[in-house]
């Protein structure tokens, strides 16, 4: 899980319309990171004139596993339905071991990545990455951490925080939630001391002062936030987001969709969205993307096992 590579910077003009009506399945609650990504992608494809009309379908649960199974069952041969997915889904698959996994769909492309932030309520005495690790080292399992679905990248990054503090991740008190609002409520109510969430989901809360960020999972300062590496957290991690199609969709149609996605991500409309949301461009497709998925599947299996994460 290295840092994302830069997207192509050249522009390309649309040649053929991708679909009159494109249906995008988002395996998460409205308002979260995948939902934001799915809607922004749909808007960019329409602005680029690849689609005329858009439909969105939210199917939350278990880090995307439920939505993935629904997609595989109902849309495996439909060329006009896309599935949003990403790192969270890989972690959830490693944790839950569902019958339907990413081998049940065809990967199209990874488009963008999102760093993780460690959050506290505004009046928390913690002020820095070092304070977060010191609090964990001192209070251990008493420190409740809120984040996304069990097994997802929030959960795994929380495990790295504990390991940095010299604790076994199996000691972690973790509250998983399907949406960002629940994470915020848990911190503000005092049910959780810390939270781990995607930067794009949190930046408005940070800017407004509703929550305060102690650090970010980037290798260097990002948007004025200090890297958690400053406190010894050894891993730089980013939550990538990408697009999949059905297992029975033809190779020709798959190629057409990849070309449309690549051209769209090179256009100013998409690049502006990347900048506004605080994402990192991380284009990958074809054999390269498939290799990334295979490698990361093994890494997530290992991390879930080593950290003894439980559903």
Task: Please say whether the beta carbons of 248 and 81 come within 8 A.
Answer: no
What are the start and end residues of each CATH 3.40.190.150 domain in the chain? 19-114+239-306
Q: Return the percentage of the chain with pLDDT > 70, whole number.
A: 95
- Residue 222 is classified by DSSP as B
Name the helix (H) or strand (E) containing 33: helix 33-47
Strand partners, 212: 120
Distance CA 259, CA 264 (A): 8
Q: Which residue has the tokens 């880090």?
A: 63
pLDDT at residue 307 greater than cutoff 60: yes
Report the range out of 5-9, 16-20, 233-237, 294-298 with the highest average pLDDT: 294-298
Q: List the end-to-end C-alpha distance of the chain, in Å, as a whole number.
A: 22
pLDDT at 234: 85
pLDDT at residue 49 greater than cutoff 60: yes
Residue 6: pLDDT band (50, 70, 90) is very low
Residue 152: pLDDT band (50, 70, 90) is confident
pLDDT at 15: 53
What are the start and end residues of each CATH 3.40.190.10 domain in the chain? 115-231
pLDDT at residue 4 greater than cutoff 80: no
pLDDT at residue 180 greater than cutoff 80: no
Residue 178: pLDDT band (50, 70, 90) is confident
Task: Please say whether the beta carbons of 111 and 117 come within 8 A.
Answer: no
Residue 305: pLDDT band (50, 70, 90) is confident
| Superfamily (CATH) of domain 115-231 | Periplasmic binding protein-like II (3.40.190.10)
pLDDT at residue 240 greater than cutoff 90: yes
Token output for 189: 């109510």
Token output for 246: 């059905």
What value does the mean pLDDT take over residues 268-297?
94
Instruction: Report the chain's mean pLDDT, rounded to a whole number.
Output: 90
To 10 degrees, the CA torsion angle through 225, 230, 234, 239?
Answer: 0
Task: Please say whether the beta carbons of 239 and 2 come within 8 A.
Answer: no
pLDDT at 293: 95
Nearest Cα neighbor of 195 from 138, 121, 247, 256 is: 121
Least confident interval from 159-163, 233-237, 293-297: 233-237
Distance CA 307, CA 170 (A): 6
Beta strands 19-26 and 194-198: pairing type?
Answer: unpaired
Distance CA 112, CA 274 (A): 8
Nearest Cα neighbor of 115 from 135, 92, 93, 87 is: 87
Radius of gyration of the chain (CA): 19
Beta strands 238-246 and 105-120: pairing type?
Answer: antiparallel
How many residues does this entry show for the chain? 311
What value does the mean pLDDT take over residues 44-67?
94
What value does the mean pLDDT take over residues 215-233?
94
Distance CA 100, CA 149 (A): 17
What value does the mean pLDDT take over residues 132-160?
91
pLDDT at residue 205 greater than cutoff 80: yes
* Best CATH choice for the domain 19-114+239-306 from the list 3.40.190.150, 3.30.390.10, 3.40.50.10070, 3.90.226.10: 3.40.190.150
């Amino acid at each position: 899980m290295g840092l994302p590579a830069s997207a192509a910077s050249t522009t390309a003009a649309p040649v053929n319309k991708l679909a009159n009506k494109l249906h995008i399945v988002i395996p998460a609650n409205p308002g979260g990171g995948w939902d934001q990504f799915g809607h922004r992608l749909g808007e960019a494809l329409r602005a680029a004139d690849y689609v005329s009309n858009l439909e969105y379908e939210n199917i939350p649960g278990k880090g995307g596993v439920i939505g993935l199974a629904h997609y595989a069952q109902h849309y495996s041969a439909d060329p006009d339905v896309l599935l949003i997915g990403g790192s969270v889904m890989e972690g959830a698959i490693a944790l839950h071991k569902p019958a339907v996994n990413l081998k049940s769909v065809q990967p199209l492309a990874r488009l963008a990545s999102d760093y993780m932030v460690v959050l506290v309520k505004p009046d928390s005495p913690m002020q820095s990455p070092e304070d977060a690790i010191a609090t964990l080292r001192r209070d251990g399992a008493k420190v409740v951490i809120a984040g996304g679905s069990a097994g997802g990248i929030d959960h795994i990054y929380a495990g790295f925080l504990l390991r940095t503090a010299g604790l076994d991740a199996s000691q972690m008190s973790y509250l998983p939630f399907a949406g960002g609002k629940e994470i915020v409520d848990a911190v503000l109510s005092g049910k959780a001391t810390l939270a781990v969430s995607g930067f794009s989901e949190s930046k408005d809360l940070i800017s407004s002062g509703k929550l305060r960020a102690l650090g970010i999972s980037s290798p260097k300062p990002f948007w004025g936030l200090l890297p958690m590496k400053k406190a010894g957290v050894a891993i730089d991690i980013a939550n990538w987001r990408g697009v999949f199609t059905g297992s029975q969709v033809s190779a020709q149609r798959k190629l057409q969709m990849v070309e449309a996605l690549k051209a769209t991500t090179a256009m100013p409309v998409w690049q502006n969205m990347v900048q506004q949301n605080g994402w990192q461009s991380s284009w990958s497709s074809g054999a390269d993307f498939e290799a990334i998925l295979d490698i990361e599947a093994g890494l997530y299996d290992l991390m879930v096992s080593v950290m003894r994460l439980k559903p």
